[in-house]
Structure 1
Amino acid sequence: MASSKLSKAVLIPLDAQNQDAPEDSWITVQFNPASLKVTLSNTLKDSNSGSGQSKAAQFVDKSESTLAIELVFDTSVLDGENLTQTDGTQTLLHEDVRKQTQRIATEFMKPQDAESNQPKAPKRCRFQWGSFSFIGMLSSYNETLDFFSPEGVPLRATLALSFKQDSYQFDIIDLKDALRQQGRLAVDGEGVSAADANLAANRDPKQWRDTALYNGMENPRFSDNQGVVMPPSGANSGSGSGGGYRYGQSDTLGTQIPGAF
C-alpha cells in the first residue's frame, strides 16, 4: 500500500479584510497537534420585559467560537552546530526552541504598535489543517519548556493556544475544489503516471520522482483514486540539489496552501 502525504497545519496571518498574508509569513507547525478542541457557545436573551410571562421568546444575544490546541516544538531532533573552543575541542550546540515559538507570540499575541499609547489588537489568524479551518484572535498563549541542553538552552516547548471568534463558525474546506482553483490538482482519478501528471500541470516530466514521492505513489506509473497533486512550486524531495521536503516525524513537508491535502 502506498504511503500517504503528510499535510502540516499552518498558522496564517490575516489582514483587516480577513485575507491571507503572503505565504512567506505563514508559520508551519513542526508536529501536527494530537487533537483539536472546538467550543461553540451562545448567550441567550429573552424578550420578557417584566410582564410576568413564563414563556418569553429567546434570542441569541452573542455567539462565540473557540479553538484550543497544543503544539510541540523540539529542536533536539534537529542537527546542532559544532562550536570550536579555544582548546581545540568541539561542542555540539542546539538552537533555542524559543526562536521558533517566538514567531507565534510576536505575530499573533503581541499588540500591533505596542510602543504607542493606544496599541492595536494583534493580527487575527487562520489555523488550517487539511479540510479544517478556524479564524480567530489568539486569546491565550501558554508555553511550557521541559527539555534543556547541558548548557541550559531550552530545546523543547509545548504551546497551549486558544483562539476566539465572536461569531459562529464551522468551516469545512473542499480540498479537491481548492486545489483545482490553485492549479495544484493535476489529475483527478487513478491510473495516471507521475510523468503524465507533470505534463498535465505544465511541469517538467523529468521531475516525476518528486511528484511520486510527494503523493506517496508506490508505483510512479499508476496514481490511486485520489489523483495526483503537484508539490509546491520550487520544492523538491532533496534527491537533487537544494534540499526540499522529506518524510519523517520532524519533516517539513506541507503544501502551505489553503485546501492542502
Structure 2
Amino acid sequence: MTTPIAAAGQAVAQARLEIVRPRIADERQRRIPLRFNPTDYKVSKSNTFAEIGIPGLETPPLQYVRGGSEELSLEALVDTSDTLEDVRERYVDRLRSLMTPDSREHAPPIVRFVWGRSVFTGVVAKLDITYQLFLPDGVPLRAKLDLGLKEYRSAAAQAQDPPRSSPTVEKSYQVRAGDTLTSIAAALYRRPDAWRELARANGITDPREVRPGRILTVPRLR
C-alpha cells in the first residue's frame, strides 16, 4: 500500500485530455496537457422521472423514464508567464478546437480525461475561459478554464449492459404514445414474447387496445 508520504516522492501524474476519436497516430497531437493539475473535479449524474397523475393521491407515484449522461466538471489554470508566450496559442486554442465538429466524424471529437487512474470518456460540452494576466500590449499569459465534459458511450456498448429492469419484482408502468405490449415486454423483461404475461395480469383481451396514460401492472416472471 502506498502511503501519502511515499507518494510524495514519486513522479506527479499530469492531468491531460486525450483525443479518442477520430484516431490520431501522432501522440503529441492526440494528447492535450493541462499546465497545472486541477485542485478538484466533480462528477455528477441525474435521472429523469415522470409523475403519474392519480386522482386523490397527495403525492403522485414516480415512473422512471431514463438515465441522464454522467458529467465531469473541473477548473484548470494554464499559464505562460515564464516564457511570455500567448497562452491562447500554447494551451487554449487546442482546448477550444475540441468543441468544433471534425470533418471526418461530423461531430466534435470524443476525448478522455486522464489523471493518474482517473479516466472519463466524453465530449467537451462547455468551456468558459477567463484571462487573468497580460503583457502591456494585451497578449494574455494566464487563463482560468471552466471545463465540462458529457459522458459518451456508444449504443453498442450500452446494449451489452445487463438489464436494468428486474423481471423478479412486481411494479407498474405508464403506457406512452407508440407503446405496444410487445415493446413494453421487450423493454422491461428483455423478452418480447412476455407480452402475454402483461396482458393476463391486466385483463387485456385485445393487445392492440393499449391506450397512452394507462397504468399497467408489471408482474414478476417466475
Which of the five TM-score ranges fits, normalised by the shorter chain? 0.5 to 0.7
Assess if the C-alpha contact under 8 Å between 2:133 and 2:140 holds in 1.
yes
Assess if the C-alpha contact under 8 Å between 2:123 and 2:152 holds in 1.
no
Q: Is it true that 1:97 corresponds to 2:87 in the alignment? A: yes
Change (3 A) 1:53 1:63: farther
Q: Which residue of 1 aligns with 2:100?
A: 110
Q: Which residue of 2 aligns with 1:218?
A: none
Q: Which residue of 1 aligns with 2:21?
A: 15
Question: For each residue in 1:96-155, what CA deviation from the matched residue of structure 2 results, as whole angstroms up to 9, or x when unmatched?
Answer: 00012101111x1112249xxxx9321111101111111111111111111011232111
Assess if the C-alpha contact under 8 Å between 1:13 and 1:124 holds in 2.
yes
RMSD: 2.8
Question: 2: CA distance between counterparts of 1:45 and 1:22?
Answer: 47
- The secondary structure found in structure 2 opposite 1:77 is coil
Q: Which residue of 2 aligns with 1:150?
A: 136
Larger Rg: 1 or 2?
Answer: 2
Assess if the C-alpha contact under 8 Å between 1:12 and 1:21 holds in 2.
no
Question: 1: CA distance between counterparts of 2:110 and 2:124?
Answer: 7
Which structure would you say has the larger RCO, counting Cα contacts within 8 Å and 6 or more residues apart?
Answer: 1
The TM-score, its normalising length taken from structure 2, stands at 0.56
Q: Is it true that 1:72 corresponds to 2:51 in the alignment? A: no
Structure 2 unpaired stretches of 5+: 154-222
Q: What is the number of equivalent residue pairs in this alignment? A: 143
Q: What letter matches 2:77 in structure 1?
A: V
Structure 1 unpaired stretches of 5+: 79-93, 168-261
Q: Which residue of 2 aligns with 1:28?
A: 33
Q: List aligned pairs for 1:140-219, cutoff 5 A.
A: 140-165=126-151
Question: 2: CA distance between counterparts of 1:44 and 1:166?
Answer: 22
Q: Percent identity?
A: 34
Q: Which residue of 2 aligns with 1:5?
A: 11
Question: For each residue in 1:171-225, what CA deviation from the matched residue of structure 2 results, as whole angstroms up to 9, or x when unmatched?
Answer: xxxxxxxxxxxxxxxxxxxxxxxxxxxxxxxxxxxxxxxxxxxxxxxxxxxxxxx
Runs of 4+ aligned residues of structure 1 deviating over 4 Å after TM superposition are 19-22, 50-57
The TM-score, its normalising length taken from structure 1, stands at 0.48
- The secondary structure found in structure 2 opposite 1:76 is coil
Question: 2: CA distance between counterparts of 1:153 and 1:56?
Answer: 57
Change (3 A) 1:21 1:42: farther
Question: 2: CA distance between counterparts of 1:159 and 1:22?
Answer: 25
Q: Which residue of 2 aligns with 1:247?
A: none
Offset of residue 77 of structure 1: 2.3
Question: 2: CA distance between counterparts of 1:59 and 1:146?
Answer: 45
